A = this chain, B = another copy of it.
Amino acid sequence: MNVQLEDICGKRETVLNSTLALIRQYGFHGTPMSMIAKHAGVAAGTIYHYFESKDALINALYEHESSRLAASLLVGDDEGLHYKERFFRCMLNHYHFYIGNPDTLYFLEQYSNSPYAKTQVENHEKRFEHIIRFFDYGIQQKYFKNIDAKLLMPIIKGTLVAAANFHLRQHMVFSDDDIRAVISMIWDGIKKQEKD
């Protein structure tokens, strides 16, 4: 039971958190509403006070977690710095978000590859607008090869997710230098080869 959480946040947040933790362990179909209720220390009926259905709950969870991710990306960004520095900072933020929130990583990956995701395309673009702009700027200023930002983003994300999964699943200590090496792979891949 998540009693400590319930005291701080509302029941709605508690339910979301329990859902997140359970889905990582048991997957979408493996976690019935009754299990979520029990884990959250709440009656099954109560969940329906906050969410219309299980689908609605999962969609709300996606909104919640992907917003948290989006918010973390440009933390500490400083427009005064070199663009390459800013890019590395952004990638480190992204990576550390996954490592610090493995439940979220697994959930988001499961969600994006499920039929749920098809209902959420427009919202998604709104949530990551500032990042799209950040990349577009890099393309305009010719730091990057001339690739559609909409393609660049999933490619970068794919690489970071792969690295984070590797880190988490192998229970391996991945030094900050290792992470920088991975980010360098991304940077070297997408930068205009003459610039740096």
Are A155 and B145 touching (Cβ within 8 A)? no
Are A186 and B189 touching (Cβ within 8 A)? yes
CB of A147 closer than 8 Å to a CB of B: yes
Question: How far in angstroms is the closest Cβ of chain B from A122?
Answer: 14
CB of A166 closer than 8 Å to a CB of B: yes
User: Which of A13-21, A88-96, A107-115, A134-142 is the interface stretch?
Assistant: A107-115
Tell me the A174-193 residues at the B interface (CB within 8 Å): 181-182, 184-190, 193
| Total identical chains | 2
Summarize A's interface: helix, strand, loop or mixed. helix
Q: What residues on B are CB-neighbors of A25 within 8 Å?
A: 115
Q: How far is the CA of A190 from the CA of B150 in the complex (A)?
A: 22
Q: What residues on B are CB-neighbors of A184 within 8 Å?
A: 189
Q: What residues on B are CB-neighbors of A147 within 8 Å?
A: 181, 185
A sample of 7 cross-chain residue pairs with beta-carbon separation below 8 angstroms, ordered by A number, consists of: A28-B29, A28-B114, A30-B115, A110-B114, A151-B163, A151-B166, A188-B189
